[in-house]
């Protein structure tokens, strides 16, 4: 893997080009989430049409079902899901702590109960790396320990220190050629801890640096302040920076200003399945009764299949009738919006219009986030 950046008119922000065994990724870039080897309801052809350059899979989910060994026997994750572009796999650290029924954490790793059937499993840094090597992703992630940033500093520090030790073990365990490995910075929202974590992770020979532990309950200002701390501490580190689990339109701008190159988030696809559509005019809830008679497209400025083919009235009907096509079209639309926004951000970084683009999106997405529960979760 190679990564080159060039500076932009925005201090701290950068334009980059990430070369992977499965193709090039222009950064800043958003990675649609294919948790269970499927970006919900979409085919690889749909993802290409939406403009996806790289997607994310999840070691936690895939190791439980269908099994990393099974995917390996079937030729790896790319072949299994028929996606020929780059894939980044998360290590499972986040899911073990957020989703599974956690049984026990010790220095060795985590014992947890599967969210599927309650069966006990053990995940360690070495195991998480082995799983990702079996999956054959282009980019693997170190195994980390997530904690609630609202816990006492000593508890956050404890998990962070363990994350650093697990980072070293992840590196030592990693052996697959043609697979990059990123480390994960933790430390909650405490500036001192974050600086210590950046220092510890950045001194290790990772291929990229991820910022973990954000968008887990802290306020937007706490998130912004933490990104500032991380950006300052990383300074001119040339490696790709990946902000994990963050993906609202406004968050992108804040993060890009702090040098973030890669994003992933279930938000665009999850809210799509509840009928919340992201448009050039802001958010739109297609379940709103006023759309039932609206013959116009969801977003007249959007090029996606949903907007090119169907009316708001039709989508409003599909959602009310709980038709599967509604979830699919909403997902295609929100991903296209997100990927086009990211492309717009790259263009704006290149031509100096970043601030005016940010202000325009701010004007339309300035209200508080609403993240309703979808009918079918990403888990």
Q: Which residues are catalytic?
A: 90, 264
Candidate list 12, 17, 19, 36; residue touching a second copy; CB under 8 A? 36
**Nearest-angstrom CA–CA distance, 357 and 348:** 7
Should residue 49 be labelled a site residue for a second copy when binding is judged by CB under 8 A?
no
Q: Is 325 in the site for a second copy (CB under 8 A)?
A: yes
Q: Is 293 in the site for a second copy (CB under 8 A)?
A: yes
Q: How many residues bind a second copy (CB under 8 A)?
A: 41
Listed residue (330, 328, 332, 324) closest to 312, CA to CA: 330
Decide: is 311 part of the binding site for a second copy (CB under 8 A). Answer: yes
Q: How far is the CB of 324 from a second copy (least distance, A)?
A: 4
**231 is an interface residue for a second copy by CB under 8 A:** no
By CB under 8 A, tell whether 99 contacts a second copy: no
Q: Which of 60, 310, 337, 365 binds a second copy (CB under 8 A)?
A: 310
Nearest to 256 by CA among 27, 5, 56: 27
Closest CA to 252 of 332, 364, 355, 345: 345
Q: Is 239 in the site for a second copy (CB under 8 A)?
A: no
Please identify, using beta-carbon distances, which residue of 124 and 336 lies nearer to a second copy: 336
CA 125, 127, 131, 133 dihedral sign is positive
Token representation of residue 257: 């200003």
Indicate whether 177 belongs to the interface with a second copy (CB under 8 A). Answer: no
Among 143, 252, 253, 314, binds a second copy (CB under 8 A): 314
Q: Which member of 295, 363, 368, 373 binds a second copy (CB under 8 A)?
A: 295
Q: Which of 66, 108, 191, 282 binds a second copy (CB under 8 A)?
A: 66
What b-and-e string marks burial along 242-274, b requiring 16 or more CB atoms within 10 Å of the CB? bbbbbbbbbbbbbbbbbbbbbbbbbbbbbbbbb
Decide whether 227 or 315 has the Cβ nearer to a second copy: 315
Write down the least CB distance from residue 326 to a second copy, Å.
8
Backbone angles phi, psi at 240, to 5 degrees: -60, 145
| Cis status, amide bond into 28, omega within 30 of 0 | yes
DSSP for 138-149, written as a single string: SEEE-------T
Residue 41 touching a second copy (CB under 8 A): yes
The least distance separating a second copy from the CB of residue 188, rounded to whole angstroms, comes to: 32
Q: DSSP state, 53?
A: S
Q: Which of 126, 158, 168, 305 is in the footprint of a second copy by CB under 8 A? A: 305
Torsion 211-213-215-220 (CA) sign = negative
Q: Could you say whether residue 76 binds a second copy (CB under 8 A)?
A: no
Candidates 13-21, 61-69, 228-236, 339-347 — which segment interacts with a second copy by CB under 8 A?
A: 61-69
- Distance spanning both ends of the chain, measured CA to CA: 30
For a second copy, the binding residue among 6, 9, 48, 70 (CB under 8 A) is: 70
Phi, psi values for residue 321, rounded to 5°: -85, 0
Q: Is 318 in the site for a second copy (CB under 8 A)?
A: yes
- Whether 224 contacts 189, CB under 8 Å: no
Distance from C-alpha of 179 to C-alpha of 20, rounded to nearest angstrom: 8
Distant-in-sequence, close-in-space partners of 353: CB < 8 Å, separation ≥ 6? 347
Site stretch for a second copy (CB under 8 A), options 120-128, 229-237, 243-251, 316-324: 316-324
Kindly identify the residues of this chain, within the stretch 326-355, that bind a second copy according to CB under 8 A.
327-329
Does the N-terminal peptide bond of residue 66 adopt cis geometry, omega within 30 degrees of 0?
Answer: yes
Stretch that binds a second copy, among 183-191, 240-248, 289-297, 344-352 (CB under 8 A): 289-297
By CB under 8 A, which span of 75-83, 151-159, 188-196, 238-246 interacts with a second copy? Answer: 75-83
The residues that touch a second copy, with contacts defined as CB under 8 A, are: 36-38, 40-45, 61, 65-66, 70, 73-75, 80-82, 292-293, 295, 305, 309-311, 313-314, 316-318, 320-325, 327-329, 376
């Amino acid at each position: 893997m190679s990564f080159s950046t060039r500076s932009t008119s925005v201090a701290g922000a950068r334009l980059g080009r990430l070369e992977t065994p499965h193709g090039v990724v222009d950064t800043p870039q958003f990675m649609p989430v294919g948790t269970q080897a499927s970006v919900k309801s979409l085919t690889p052809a749909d993802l290409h049409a939406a403009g996806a350059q790289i997607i994310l899979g999840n070691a936690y989910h895939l190791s439980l079902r269908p099994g990393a060994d099974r995917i390996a026997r079937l030729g790896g994750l790319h072949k299994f899901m028929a996606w020929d572009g780059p894939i980044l796999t998360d290590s499972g650290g986040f899911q073990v702590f957020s989703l599974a029924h956690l049984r026990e954490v010790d220095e060795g790793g985590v014992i947890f109960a599967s969210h599927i059937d309650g069966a006990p499993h053990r995940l360690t840094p070495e195991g998480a790396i082995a799983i990702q090597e079996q999956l054959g992703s282009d980019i693997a992630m170190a195994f980390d320990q997530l904690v609630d940033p609202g816990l006492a500093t000593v508890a956050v520090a404890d998990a962070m220190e363990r994350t650093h030790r697990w980072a070293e073990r992840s590196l030592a365990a990693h052996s697959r050629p043609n697979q990059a490995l990123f480390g994960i910075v933790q430390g909650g929202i405490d500036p001192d801890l974050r600086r210590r974590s950046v220092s510890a992770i950045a001194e290790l020979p990772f291929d990229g640096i991820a910022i973990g532990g954000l968008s887990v309950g802290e306020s937007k200002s706490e998130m912004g302040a933490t990104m500032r701390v991380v950006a300052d501490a990383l300074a001119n580190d040339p490696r790709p920076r990946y902000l994990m689990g963050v993906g609202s339109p406004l968050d992108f701008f804040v993060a890009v200003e702090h040098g973030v190159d890669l994003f992933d988030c279930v938000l665009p696809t999850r809210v799509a399945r509840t009928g919340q559509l992201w448009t050039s005019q802001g958010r739109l809830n297609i379940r709103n009764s006023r759309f039932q008679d609206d013959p116009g497209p969801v977003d007249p400025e959007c090029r996606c299949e949903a907007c090119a083919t169907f009316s708001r009235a039709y989508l409003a009907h599909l959602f009310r009738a709980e038709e599967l096509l509604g979830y699919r079209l909403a997902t295609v639309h929100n991903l296209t919006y997100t990927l086009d926004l990211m492309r717009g951000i790259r263009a704006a970084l290149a031509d100096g219009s970043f601030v005016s683009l940010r202000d325009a999106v701010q004007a339309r997405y300035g209200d508080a986030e609403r993240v309703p529960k979808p009918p079918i979760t990403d888990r």
